[in-house]
């Protein structure tokens, strides 16, 4: 659930109506957030946050009688999409992969871009400028991290250093060149969290690959929901649904793969 919206429910129900079964699940950081203490966060990375459970989901589905283990596709949205190339490395049995609003730009840079975008919507106040300055300092802290760093999470966007170090040399688009299975990338052009230029960065690396398809939607935001004008955080509080066109495109792509 994001604001008043349930994009993964929309995708699940929409795909089910087209004959595509889905498995969706909550992230560990949501279900077990009360158990995430300072001690067990010291070595916390995207492996624990996202990758391990995606691999378990594939394993679980492959054992279900009603599921064809040769036709399991992995879909990731936002950070989940960004991490698809790393998931692929350990998911050789999956039939294909779908990246929705996945980023190529480093996460720390996107965070600063987002705060600048949001702050500028109503004009920059003195407080906004101070907040941006704080975020820029934290970005610098992230960029300067090494294995000997002792920087506190409070100086790293509230995220432990192990998490950032794990992502430090990650280049998702370059790693995605190794993907031989079918790959679908989707992008909303009203997305301010993962801007449309990110799709162009994927294309720069992958445009020559025959197994990759790119789809872009002019009037959709980060949740692949329709809107007008500039997208804002407040937009997520308005009840919407994932555009039917997106669901149709995903379903048709899966169904038509030979």
| Average pLDDT for 132-143 | 98
32 vs 66 pLDDT, higher one: 66
DSSP-H helix ranges across 17-71: 28-31, 38-41, 46, 52-62
Q: Minimal CA–CA distance to 135: which of 163, 105, 155?
A: 155
Q: C-alpha angle 255/257/258, rounded to 5°?
A: 115
For 184-210, give the DSSP string: EEEEETT-SSS-THHHHHHHHHHTT-T
Confidence at 221, pLDDT banded by 50, 70, 90: very high
Task: State the Cα–Cα distance between residues 241 and 9, nearest whole angstrom.
Answer: 9
* Catalytic annotation, pick one of 78, 161, 166, 231: 78
Residues of the chain above pLDDT 70, percent: 95
- Which domains, from first to last, does the chain contain? 7-104+171-256 (3.40.50.1820), 107-170 (no CATH)
- Across the range 120-131, mean pLDDT stands at 92
Look at residue 32 in the predicted model and tell me its pLDDT: 60
Q: For residue range 25-47, what is the model confidence (pLDDT) as tens digits?
A: 888 766 666 766 555 677 889 99
CA dihedral 168, 223, 5, 98 (to 10 degrees): -80
Model pLDDT, residue 104: 99
What pLDDT, in 10s, does the model give residues 186-215?
A: 999 999 999 999 999 999 999 999 999 999
The pLDDT tens digits for 138-181 are: 999 999 999 999 899 999 999 999 999 999 999 999 999 999 99
pLDDT computed for residue 4 by the predictor: 83
User: What stretches of 75-229 show up as alpha helix (H) in DSSP?
Assistant: 79-82, 84-89, 107-120, 126-143, 161-167, 172-176, 197-206
Q: Is the pLDDT at 119 greater than 60, yes or no?
A: yes
State the pLDDT at residue 133: 98
CB 108 within 8 A of CB 157: yes
Residue 3: predicted pLDDT: 79
Residue 63 backbone phi and psi in degrees, to 5: -100, 0
Q: Over range 211-229, report the average pLDDT.
A: 97
The active-site residue, picked from 77, 222, 231, 241, is 222
Q: Among 10, 191, 231, 241, which one carries the catalytic annotation?
A: 191
pLDDT at 156: 97
Residue that has been written with the tokens 């009203």 in this structure:
190
User: Does residue 222 have an active-site annotation?
Assistant: yes
Torsion from C-alpha of 52, 54, 60, 65, nearest 10 degrees: -160
pLDDT, position 92: 84
């Amino acid at each position: 659930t994001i604001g008043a919206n349930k994009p993964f429910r929309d995708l699940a129900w929409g795909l089910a109506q087209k004959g595509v079964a889905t498995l969706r699940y909550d992230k560990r950081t949501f279900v077990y957030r009360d158990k995430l203490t300072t001690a067990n966060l010291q070595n916390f990375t995207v492996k624990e946050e996202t990758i391990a459970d995606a691999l378990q989901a594939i394993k679980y589905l492959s054992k279900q009688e009603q599921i064809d283990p040769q036709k399991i596709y992995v879909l990731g949205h936002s950070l989940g999409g960004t991490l698809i190339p790393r998931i692929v490395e350990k998911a050789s049995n999956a039939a294909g992969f779908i990246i929705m609003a996945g980023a190529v730009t480093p996460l720390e840079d996107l965070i600063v871009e987002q705060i600048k975008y949001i702050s500028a919507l109503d004009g920059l106040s003195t407080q906004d400028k101070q907040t941006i300055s704080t975020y820029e300092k934290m970005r610098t802290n992230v960029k300067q991290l090494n294995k000997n760093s002792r920087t506190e999470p409070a100086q790293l966007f509230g995220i432990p250093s192990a998490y950032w170090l794990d992502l430090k040399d990650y280049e998702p688009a370059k790693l995605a060149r190794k993907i031989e299975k079918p790959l679908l990338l989707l992008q909303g052009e009203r997305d301010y969290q993962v801007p449309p230029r990110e799709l162009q960065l994927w294309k720069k690396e992958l445009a020559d690959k025959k197994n990759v398809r790119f789809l872009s939607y002019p009037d959709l935001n980060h949740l692949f929901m329709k809107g007008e004008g500039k997208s804002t955080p407040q937009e997520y509080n308005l009840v919407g649904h994932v555009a039917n066109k997106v669901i149709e495109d995903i379903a048709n792509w899966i169904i038509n793969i030979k």
